[in-house]
Structure 1
């Protein structure tokens, strides 16, 4: 039997040459060439990326997503024609919005039907799965898409795709190839990875750094806002330097990384959808925004009209957000690490008003301490119910600096950041997007990327079900990737309630408690993981049972077994304070 060199062989080789370690795959009738090439490589002891079988595409792309977040290296996802492409679902949105480099490859239905070429149609599904524009399914969420038409330049296509994926702003790319092309005999081609490097990071124009530092040295109430600067861990150190030199408070707005140490006296909290004005932001005379899509929500929270705003981002005009604007003195299309280094190197050229800086440091330190005391008060033990704040504080006491937290808490995003208080760069990540179900696959990808770390996934009950836990925990056992999942179980979708009440705080939905988001009857969520992957499963309803359950779960993952704690939070009703704040918008609308 001949073992020929085909387009599929060259494709797999190019992934290996480009530094791809894993292929998260969901194979189908379009992949005989790839399967054959993989089998030949195994027989020959030829090194290629390892195949990770993923029974659901959402999990596959979510795992590749977090792997890239942890390592900085893009991985590959292989899916089945247009059906598998669509089944990637919201994971495509998350990778695109989160600026995650990943290569997605899908086969395509054969384009011959009478045996003209190897791979010609021989199954009824090949007619049904033939669609006019398969690439169009994901084009709005990809930095680049193309079709492989011959094996003669397949390696160039792969390296170009990954070059684009790795260039700022990073993002997913999509290639497809019909069966006949992937079965085509090819001639080996040598490609040098060094010739296909991503575009170099962009810097500030030299004259601009001095002007920014000059304005900063004159400001009385400067503020820094960031959301995803921590994607580059080195940027955190540079941000700390800038903050220290000028005593600038830092606010994290909808963060999906650890952007600034929570215990630093200049850290002044997190902001999400809370319908109230942030005091420091409202008083600021100068605002520096680093890496943030939504630094504030202008209907309820924004800087003063006469404040000066500087915007630093890989994509400062958000070209793919049809409605987006933050009026600013200057917008800089830069790599934030590079820009921060420039600013820190320029500081010595501007006179510092030491008395202003000293006074500001004292004031902001006091603000920080009062804020932390308020957070601590909210963590108090309650003998009747498990509050999200108490739950998060208990988790904080259990984990350490070698723990990576996967955060998909949704309505408890704010609570998780406030009460975990992460201080080490790279110690917490979120998807960066808005499609639920990322956390399960993300936990697998993060553990695969660094097996020395403990992985803790914090998720709501809705996002847990979206994550396809049966697939996730089957994979966890098969590939020996243990992690702990803690479900913040509201027994329903809390976020749509919050959204409805944000517009109609005292409307009929509130009066009748009808939101159509309750999960009744309630599923035994932890048992799904036990049945699918042998996970340690426990439902916690009483506060006294929480810490013992966490200890057992922690021991399970140390012994190589995943664990799921389904923690029952109290049924939710909006507080009077929240109603009062949300009612501001309704009153404004009624007055128009």
Structure 2
């Protein structure tokens, strides 16, 4: 067969344009609709910049990009096959949308020209509007019809997804666009001429008003939300809190944004303020929301009518991507001043204007200890607290990155002293995201922060939905420690079914029907081994857990992959406090 070394194909140009965006990886599940692009990445670019990352399912492919961006703040490209691939990936795209994660989704249509379609398969895998399937939870999408338009679409996608507030974008390439031979790549301006816009600098008037409000406040509170992970921004937030003497609340859902062992750290909260720290928020005379997720909803838990609500500063750009389909714009937050910029930009501007002298200087603050750590764990069945205790020991011995943690993880139980200490939840609350996010984060940590030990603590329900993601970690030799907090059920749903049964006077003992993961119980250990992980379990007592966790951490620090299956007790808990649900 004659090899056409001198010919150039449309997909060669598309692959080159993708390389120009600086995206290091193209995460894929193989599919014929983008076979041209696949060939160009492998044979034209040499499978470098971007390199293919192969997956066994499109949903966790997109979750890998999610995890990578949680570490780096940068997007990966994800290629999915036709309309069916988009539908598989859509849950993970929604998670990324809700998590404000940059991601470039690449799809390929069957031949738009019906005369070019093969019988059956090209017809069912061709859609009139691929973008419609994810348009309600992406920032932008396009289906270019020419090579120049496709290059522009790739460049625009890279800009739009990286522009704050970040979120997924999608490009759809027609099969013919990829597979037609072309004479040469079109002459276009250099990619360096297309800059990502920087966040807006707060106005002089806003800064003046903000400084005045802060200086007059006697009990300011900072709600530190979904913020960047740079060392500079981390230190700036510490300096800002210390300079104004503000107590700082962080969120369980958005990752480390302020050191939890700092004396000014008040609480790590979920849906509402805890009873122990409610007096702090109730005494506040100024609340500063720094990109806080659902600021309006959080404030309503304490001031449902708005009466006696203190002054509020809201720093957020989130309103700029609100739409009529997805309600992740949350409750409308009252704000005496709303600064539409990033928290990093605002904090830096305020530090330039706020005086450095006064009672609230950094010399006055020391590190505090965690308040949520349980004791007396050596006896009895394992609980989540046992896992927390063993993790904390690992975190003392290694620079760790807690990628994700289950819903029942106790607050204020960890020393998060770095922006990579904890990455946060999956954004959209979709089960099955955990394994892919863990693999993506492990990939980013290996490439950029190899000193960090990647640890993902997943529930068994979350893990079983996308357990095949482990195969990708093994294929690309990614160090990763996964611990399964295994209560053999979708326990959050058991709690809800129990409440419903109690309210209706029906048998509570039926709460497990259709919810328990048993008869048979999945063999998680052998499943993990078959996918390329060392695995141990089920672990049933504290000493075994402690020893196995230590050995697993050592192995992962040496570049290996380990899964621990930990059998834990089913512990009841209130998912939503009454003041959150407004129901008795």
TM-score normalised to the size of structure 2? 0.88
Give the Å deviation of 1:551.
Answer: 2.2
Structure 1 partner of 2:414: 420
Structure 1 partner of 2:279: 279
In terms of fraction of residues, the more helix-rich structure is 1
1:126 pairs with one of 122, 126, 129: 122
1:216, 1:273 → 2: CA distance? 26
1:137 and 2:138 are equivalent in the alignment: no
Cα distance change, pair 474–317 in 1 and its aligned pair in 2 (3 A): closer
Structure 1 partner of 2:294: 294
Structure 1 partner of 2:454: 455
Give the Å deviation of 1:246.
Answer: 1.9
1:569 and 2:568 are equivalent in the alignment: yes
The residue correspondences of 1:46-85 to structure 2 (distance < 5 A) are 47-85=48-86
1:540 and 2:543 are equivalent in the alignment: no
2:320, 2:35 → 1: CA distance? 44
Structure 1 partner of 2:386: 390
1:22 and 2:25 are equivalent in the alignment: yes
Give the Å deviation of 1:23.
Answer: 0.5
Cα distance change, pair 288–113 in 1 and its aligned pair in 2 (3 A): closer
Give the Å deviation of 1:11.
Answer: 0.9
SS in 2 for 1:88: helix
Structure 1 partner of 2:210: 212
- C-alpha distance after superposition, 1:438-468 (max 9, x if no partner): 22122222222232132111111111112x2
Structure 2 partner of 1:439: 434
The residue correspondences of 1:12-411 to structure 2 (distance < 5 A) are 12-41=15-44, 47-114=48-115, 120-122=116-118, 124-186=120-182, 187-189=184-186, 190-273=188-271, 278-295=278-295, 297-298=298-299, 300-302=301-303, 305-316=308-319, 319-320=322-323, 321=327, 324-348=331-355, 354=359, 357=360, 372=369, 374-376=371-373, 378-399=374-395, 400=397, 402-411=399-408
Structure 1: give runs of 5+ residues left out of the alignment.
Answer: 115-119
1:2 and 2:1 are equivalent in the alignment: no
Cα distance change, pair 246–35 in 1 and its aligned pair in 2 (3 A): closer
- C-alpha distance after superposition, 1:86-105 (max 9, x if no partner): 10132101211111111111
Structure 2 partner of 1:485: 482
Cα distance change, pair 105–264 in 1 and its aligned pair in 2 (3 A): same
Cα distance change, pair 230–258 in 1 and its aligned pair in 2 (3 A): farther
SS in 1 for 2:246: coil
SS in 1 for 2:79: strand
- C-alpha distance after superposition, 1:240-296 (max 9, x if no partner): 111111211000134422100111100111111358552211221110000112245
SS in 1 for 2:267: strand
Give the Å deviation of 1:318.
Answer: 6.5
1:530 and 2:529 are equivalent in the alignment: yes
Give the Å deviation of 1:28.
Answer: 1.4
8 Å CA contact retained: 2:250, 2:257: yes
- C-alpha distance after superposition, 1:369-424 (max 9, x if no partner): 5xx46423x24314002221231121111135632221141332xx2x52222111
Over aligned residue pairs, what C-alpha RMSD do you find? Answer: 2.9
More deviation, 46-55/103-112: 46-55
8 Å CA contact retained: 2:90, 2:134: no
Cα distance change, pair 569–337 in 1 and its aligned pair in 2 (3 A): same
SS in 1 for 2:148: helix
TM-score normalised to the size of structure 1? 0.87
8 Å CA contact retained: 1:406, 1:458: yes
1:509, 1:132 → 2: CA distance? 49
1:47, 1:380 → 2: CA distance? 52
